[in-house]
């Protein structure tokens, strides 16, 4: 008689070990994919953070770069340059600079003569007063004396504080009679960074760290300095040390993203520690290894159940063979017993099949749950424009399958209009953000007005302002800068809308233009409260405003007046006889251009 123990056993654990060796290499691509995913996610987040930081920094600098040019026109400052020995004129200039510095938030403002000596300053009453000090060695002084806008970042030789300097020449006709300097504090830009694992590192054109979230990195060199660079540092003294020590960073421990700022020559870097990637990658690997272990345990359990099942089948087969040997000797009761045994086997097989199906249903339910979570996450990240474009594209595909060509063309046209609208908005913002550094040229007036109105269209419609246009059909050409003319028109129209916020409906805005023998005249009129008597006399004066300090510094109309006078034009303010403000813009006529550029609004 053969017993169950005599049946040879298959080496089960050896098979499991071989299976584990076959499945283990799957962890390597899992690690690679996880690392690439988390690196991409971290890079995207840091890129957005870098863009926001650079935009905030440039916004701070742009607020102050126009101040030296505007303040140089103030009579009190010109009086000091004309008579440096007049103590009363110097006192008035000191008080004026101190008041403007307090109002604008500048660190210090000071006036230099053509030799670089300080004649007036906003810190005249402080221990570190600049009165009598010479700053001719600073680069911003030499740049301003050359007729340029001087720029410089460095450590104050008197105060010992970091700052960014803007300097502009004070002109009397074509002659330079002095230099006005404004120092801006950039320390708060470091404080905006906050306490995060990522570190900020900003370097100047010498590769020396000037702003950083790690104080121990400050004023260290990220590269070797040439002898010429060291001589320049010694001459202008931008740092607290004349020999910046090297900054030794383990680049293998950081993920670095860099953005250049062409306007200042700086480089802004975000250094993210690799641990931000390594930790989630290790977590993914741990989950993968645990999953692999669970799979192996399930396979082991299935193999064990299968062996038990085979052993039971073998035992029952042996019993059946013994019964068959004695079938002639047994009665019908043994046949009934045999039938009952077969029925039990069938029931057990049926139960096994039900168990397998239940396991399959459980696995499928888990897959559907994971799929639902993933779909919700992706749907949350998608924005409306992309969803609309994808919907139109999918509808076009279905329509093409049904040979509905015209309907599909309609969907494609909607996609084209949607992308065109997005491109139009970006084009508007880019056109108004671009800097115009060229001399006055011949510019078409109507397209510039259309672009300014298009940028304010949403606000005008939300305020229910009725626009009444009276523009000639023929194109009017004026002498101006294209971008600066858009800036002036946009500022004047925005001020008109600000005035209409104080008035209830109906709100109206009239816009007209005409050609005159002297040039081209543009009229902007509203039915708001108009100008008060004081505002009529001081509307174009810097820092005069009827708004609150949070709504503006009072530089908008002053900048517009400066730009218009640079074009050879004139900006006039008055009240209309029927009520409301009337702004008259007179420009010199320009030669007709070769071609007209369609306005952004009409193209969209």
Per-residue pLDDT at 384: 45
4-52 confidence digits (pLDDT tens): 444 445 555 666 676 666 666 767 787 778 778 888 887 888 888 888 8
Strand-by-strand arrangement of the 266-273 sheet: 209-212, 199-203, 266-273, 254-261
**CA distances (Å), 460 to each of 446, 467, 497, 571, 591, in order?**
19, 9, 7, 23, 33
Q: What is the mean pLDDT of the chain?
A: 79
Residue among 432, 443, 438, 448 at smallest CA distance from 477:
443
Dihedral, 469, 471, 477, 483 alpha carbons, nearest 10: 10
Answer yes or no: is pLDDT of 602 > 50.
no
Answer yes or no: is pLDDT of 523 > 90.
yes
Per-residue pLDDT at 12: 59
| Average pLDDT, integer, range 127-150 | 88
Beta bridge partners of 182: 109, 166
Helices (H), 66-84: 67-71, 75-82
Per-residue pLDDT at 166: 92
β-strands 199-203, 507-516 pairing: unpaired
Per-residue pLDDT at 62: 85
Answer yes or no: is pLDDT of 119 > 80.
yes
pTM over 0.85: no
Answer yes or no: is pLDDT of 194 > 70.
no
Per-residue pLDDT at 358: 63
| Average pLDDT, integer, range 471-494 | 86
Per-residue pLDDT at 560: 82
Q: How far apart are CA 58 and CA 76, in angstroms?
A: 30
Q: Is-contact 499 543, C-beta < 8 A?
A: no
Q: Is-contact 407 414, C-beta < 8 A?
A: no
| Average pLDDT, integer, range 202-231 | 83
| Average pLDDT, integer, range 463-488 | 87
Per-residue pLDDT at 418: 61
Residue 375 banded pLDDT, cuts 50, 70, 90:
very low
Report the chain's terminal Cα–Cα distance, integer Å: 95
Residue 481 banded pLDDT, cuts 50, 70, 90:
confident
Per-residue pLDDT at 179: 94
Q: Is-contact 524 492, C-beta < 8 A?
A: yes
Picking from 38-47, 71-80, 337-346, which range would have the lowest pLDDT averaged per residue?
38-47
Q: Is-contact 597 447, C-beta < 8 A?
A: yes
CB neighbours of residue 157 within 10 Å:
14
Helices (H), 24-106: 27-65, 67-71, 75-82, 87-104
Per-residue pLDDT at 270: 86
Answer yes or no: is pLDDT of 53 > 70.
yes
| Average pLDDT, integer, range 364-379 | 41
Q: Is-contact 186 152, C-beta < 8 A?
A: no
Q: What are 325's two structure tokens? A: 């040997």
The top-scoring range by mean pLDDT among 229-238, 350-359, 436-445 is: 229-238
Instruction: Label residue 122 exposed, middle or buried (CB < 10 Å: 0-12, 13-18, 19+).
Output: buried
Per-residue pLDDT at 438: 52
pLDDT > 70: percent of the chain = 81
Residue 543 banded pLDDT, cuts 50, 70, 90:
low
Q: How far apart are CA 293 and CA 504, in angstroms?
A: 73
Q: How far apart are CA 470 and CA 508, in angstroms?
A: 13
β-strands 209-212, 199-203 pairing: antiparallel
Answer yes or no: is pLDDT of 330 > 80.
no
Question: String of b and e for 471-494 (b: at least 16 CB within 10 Å)?
Answer: beeeebbbbbbbbbbbbbbbbbbe
Q: How far apart are CA 247 and CA 219, in angstroms?
A: 9
């Amino acid at each position: 008689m053969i017993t169950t123990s005599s049946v040879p056993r298959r080496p089960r654990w050896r098979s499991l070990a071989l299976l584990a060796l076959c499945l283990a290499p799957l962890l390597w691509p899992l690690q690679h994919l996880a690392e690439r995913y988390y690196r991409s996610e971290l890079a995207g987040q840091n890129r957005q953070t870098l863009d926001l930081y650079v935009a905030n920094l440039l916004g701070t600098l742009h607020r102050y770069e126009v101040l030296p040019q505007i303040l140089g026109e103030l009579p009190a400052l010109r009086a000091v340059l004309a008579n440096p020995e007049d103590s009363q004129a110097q006192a008035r200039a000191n008080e004026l600079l101190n008041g403007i510095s307090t109002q604008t938030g500048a660190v210090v403002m000071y006036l230099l003569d053509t030799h670089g000596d300080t004649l007036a300053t906003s810190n005249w009453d402080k221990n570190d007063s600049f009165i009598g000090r010479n700053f001719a060695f600073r680069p911003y002084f030499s740049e301003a004396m050359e007729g340029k806008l001087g720029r410089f970042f460095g450590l104050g030789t008197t105060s010992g504080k970091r700052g960014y300097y803007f300097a502009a020449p004070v002109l009397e006709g074509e002659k330079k009679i002095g230099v006005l300097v404004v120092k801006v504090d950039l320390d708060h830009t470091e404080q905006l960074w906050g306490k995060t694992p990522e570190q900020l590192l900003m370097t100047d054109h010498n590769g020396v760290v000037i702003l950083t979230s790690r104080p121990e990195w400050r004023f260290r060199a990220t590269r070797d300095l040439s002898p010429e660079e060291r001589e320049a540092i010694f001459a202008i003294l931008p740092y607290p040390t004349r020999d910046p020590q090297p900054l030794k960073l383990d680049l293998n421990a950081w993920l670095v993203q860099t953005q250049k700022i062409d306007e200042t020559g700086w480089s802004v870097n975000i250094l993210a520690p690799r641990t931000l990637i390594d930790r989630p990658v290790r977590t993914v690997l741990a989950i993968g290894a645990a999953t692999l272990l669970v799979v192996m345990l399930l396979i082991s359990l299935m193999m064990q159940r299968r062996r038990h099942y085979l052993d039971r089948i073998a035992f029952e087969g042996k019993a059946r063979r013994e019964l068959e040997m004695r079938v002639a000797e047994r009665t019908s009761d043994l046949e009934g017993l045999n039938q009952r045994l077969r029925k039990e086997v069938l029931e057990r097989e049926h139960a096994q099949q039900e168990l397998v199906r239940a396991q399959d249903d459980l696995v499928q339910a888990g897959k559907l749950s994971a799929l639902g979570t993933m779909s919700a996450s992706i749907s949350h990240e998608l924005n409306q424009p992309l969803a609309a474009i994808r919907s139109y594209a999918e509808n076009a595909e279905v329509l093409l399958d049904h040979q509905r060509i015209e309907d599909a063309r309609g969907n494609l046209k909607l996609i084209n209009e949607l992308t065109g609208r997005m491109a139009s908005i970006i084009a508007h913002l880019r056109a108004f953000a671009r800097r115009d550094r060229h001399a006055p040229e011949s510019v078409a007036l109507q397209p510039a007005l259309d672009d300014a109105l298009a940028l304010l269209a949403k606000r005008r419609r939300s305020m229910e302002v009725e626009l009444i246009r009276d523009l000639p059909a023929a194109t009017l050409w004026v002498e101006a800068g294209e971008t600066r003319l858009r800036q002036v028109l946009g500022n004047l129209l925005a001020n008109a809308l600000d005035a209409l916020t104080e008035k209830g409906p109906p709100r109206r805005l009239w816009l007209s233009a005409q050609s005159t023998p002297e040039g081209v005249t543009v009229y902007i009129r509203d039915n708001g409260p108009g100008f008060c008597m004081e505002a009529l006399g001081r509307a174009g004066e810097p820092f005069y405003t009827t708004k609150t300090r949070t709504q503006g510094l009072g530089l908008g109309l002053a900048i517009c007046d400066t730009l218009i006078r640079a074009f050879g034009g004139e900006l006039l303010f008055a009240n209309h006889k029927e009520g409301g403000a009337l702004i008259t813009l007179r420009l010199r006529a320009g030669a007709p251009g070769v071609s007209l550029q369609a306005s952004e609004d009409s193209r969209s």
